Amino acid sequence: MTTRWRILAAICITGTMLWFSCSRWFKPAAPKLAVVISVDQMRYDYFTRFAGLYNGGLAKLWREGAVFSNAHHDHAGTETAPGHATLLTGSHPAQHGIIANYWLDPKTNQSIYSVDDPNAALVVATDVTATAIGKSPRRLLRHTLGDWLKAKHPAARVISIAGKDRSAILMAGWDADAAYWFYPQTGDFISSRFYLDALPPWAQQWNAARRADIYFQRAWEKSRPEEEYFLSREDLFSAEGDGERTTFPHAFMSDDETLADSAQKKINPKFYQWLAATPFVDALTLDFAQQAVVAEKLGADDAPDLLLLGLKATDAVGHAYGPLSQESEDNLLRLDDELGKFFAFLDKNVGLKDCVIVLSADHGVLPLPEELRRRGFESARMLTAEATDEVKSIEKEMQAEWRTNRPILRNYLDGINLDYRVADSLGLSPAAFRERVAAKLRSLSFVSDIFTADELRANNGPGREYLDKQRRSFHPDRSADLTMQLKPYYLVSDKPHGTTHGSPYPYDTHVPLIFWSPRIPAQHIASPHRTVDLAPTLAHLLQLDLPADLSRRVAKARPGSAQVEAAVDGEILRMIIAK
């Protein structure tokens, strides 16, 4: 080989080595703005059912995003607070500590709200009652994606905006610049002194413009022609709403007024509460978010920023009317339109080419039992009073068998705490007493299983269905002595209408998980994934360092470290790797 060819070969080899080195160490620039959208109570099938009707923001995500069609929450307590904390911490309730919206303190048996904090007063635009309790993330035991971002980029801006306080706060975490939420007493967006000493001028100006008031005397009517609601059941359905006003249009009415004289009423807190249960609250949330993007200059410099959005209307509408209602369909069609406008705004003011957008949900929802029964499902609605009476009846049987008049149960539904004075009189250890009571309560007609704190605290032992999901929702200092799991498609409710969520069943756990970016190939991925992977995946796209204990903590909830490492740091990341 001549000297000339040796030189050319050396150049080629050196170039190849340099190319591999660059491809390994030089990553594409991180997006300037990451937007996480949590649509409260959005079932995955809201995409498959209505995809042909969407033409706005939901259509864009569905057609252009990386869609994980088999994504589930992997914990049992599928409620708003634990769902949002899971999405943004990359850990389960067993680690982040937010086991429910409300839980009973095992020591005092007093109710605890997940974000209450009397030491973090509300920051409001107008006077509110002095009894309003402050809010903060102080009960959240883990840091969030926003906290990871601020740790690496102190100049980054992290703003969280939602229709609910718990959504805004638990998405925001500890180090966010601000968390704002809609306040249904005044129609304003407010915050907490944990984040802000006062609302910034732009937020004050938005509130002063009384944007919420434009919906007064405006009914919620169908937004599409009648024939487009064929995918939903008939409009008149007695188990919806309040059991009486179940059909479109839906207008604000006080308890003692009729539709005809509602126009004579003045704006009051009841109007804002009505507004917070309509699709209009999401339109307001996204409008407030637009102001935040401009005023906070999100995506305007090289430090990546994070905007967190919690959209609550789907949850409010779903609770009242159920997922198969025309109201739920119309709400989603309106959401599709509003998100389309919001994405157009982002493109104009930031540039979608510099954004990554993620959409998911905190939980799904159970269809109305009355609807399920007429479709052939074994389903039942039991009023809370009836369920409580059945539990009390079994408690009386236990008292008779154990020859005591002492109360055995300190409360009767959800998490159950016990009175251990009876255990002492029987000579039983606390663990044996818990198992003895659980065995009795498993005979309840509406219950599929009762889990003791001992079973949920253990990392091994004989497994049974849903035990692992229940363990991921269990925290030893916060969870009750006994955890009650209802039968599939069963509902215990204070009202004879409406529905709810909170179970480990697919109708509550199966939610959308979609990543959109110009650098992410459009694809639909059918393999199983978990919502707990959202934060680590987005951290990877933002080129952030994951907490050192994240994989270990997730592995604790799902045995098999190699499998978990792939789920947390690998599988999703490989599928949506940048072009």
Q: What is the tens place of the pLDDT at every residue in 111-126?
A: 999 999 999 999 997 6
User: What b/e string do you get for 343-380 counting C-beta neighbours within 10 Å, with b at 16 or more?
Assistant: bebbeeebebebbbbbbbbbbbbbbbbbbbeeeeeebb
Residue 390 tokens read as 């059945």
* Averaged pLDDT of the chain: 89
* CATH of span 33-213+266-368+512-563: 3.40.720.10
Residue 14 tokens read as 């050196």
Question: Which range is least confidently modeled, 15-29, 331-345, 555-569?
Answer: 555-569
d(Cα 552, Cα 556) in Å, to the nearest integer? Answer: 6
Q: Are 491 and 370 in contact (CB under 8 A)?
A: no
At 107 the pLDDT is: 87
At 414 the pLDDT is: 83
3-state secondary structure of 561: helix
Name the percent of the chain lying above pLDDT 70.
86
| Residues 287-330 pLDDT 10s | 999 999 999 999 999 999 999 999 999 999 999 999 999 999 99
Pairing of strands 71-72, 102-104: unpaired
Tell me: pLDDT of 157 over 50: yes
Tell me: pLDDT of 1 over 80: no
Q: Are 149 and 542 in contact (CB under 8 A)?
A: yes
d(Cα 49, Cα 51) in Å, to the nearest integer? Answer: 6
Tell me: pLDDT of 223 over 60: yes
Name the percent of the chain lying above pLDDT 90.
82
Pairing of strands 415-416, 529-530: unpaired
Give me the mean pLDDT over the 65-72 stretch: 97
* CATH of span 373-496: 3.30.1360.150
Would 33-213+266-368+512-563 and 373-496 be classified into the same CATH topology? no
Domain range list for the chain: 33-213+266-368+512-563, 373-496
Q: What is the pTM of this model?
A: 0.91
d(Cα 54, Cα 333) in Å, to the nearest integer? Answer: 7
List strand residue ranges (DSSP E) for 8-143, in order.
33-39, 66-68, 71-72, 102-104, 111-113, 122-123
Q: How confident is the model at residue 15 (pLDDT cuts 50, 70, 90)?
A: very low
* Closest C-alpha among 464, 521, 478 to residue 113: 478
End-to-end CA distance of the chain: 39
Q: Are 213 and 305 in contact (CB under 8 A)?
A: no
Helix (H) or strand (E) holding 332: helix 326-349
Alpha-carbon separation of residue 107 from 7, 110, 503, 578 (angstroms): 79, 8, 25, 50
Name 425's Cβ contacts closer than 8 Å, sequence gap at least 6: 402, 404, 406
Helix extents (H) in 187-298: 201-208, 269-275, 280-295
Residue, of 32 and 9, whose pLDDT is higher: 32
At 57 the pLDDT is: 98
Q: How confident is the model at residue 502 (pLDDT cuts 50, 70, 90)?
A: very high
Q: How confident is the model at residue 34 (pLDDT cuts 50, 70, 90)?
A: very high
3-state secondary structure of 464: coil
Tell me the backbone φ, ψ of residue 277, rounded to 5 degrees: -105, 15
Options 80, 89, 144, 314, the catalytic residue: 80
At 62 the pLDDT is: 98
At 29 the pLDDT is: 79
Q: Are 264 and 217 in contact (CB under 8 A)?
A: no
At 266 the pLDDT is: 82
Residue, of 139 and 19, whose pLDDT is higher: 139
Helix (H) or strand (E) holding 524: strand 523-525
Q: For residue 80, indicate whether it is catalytic.
A: yes
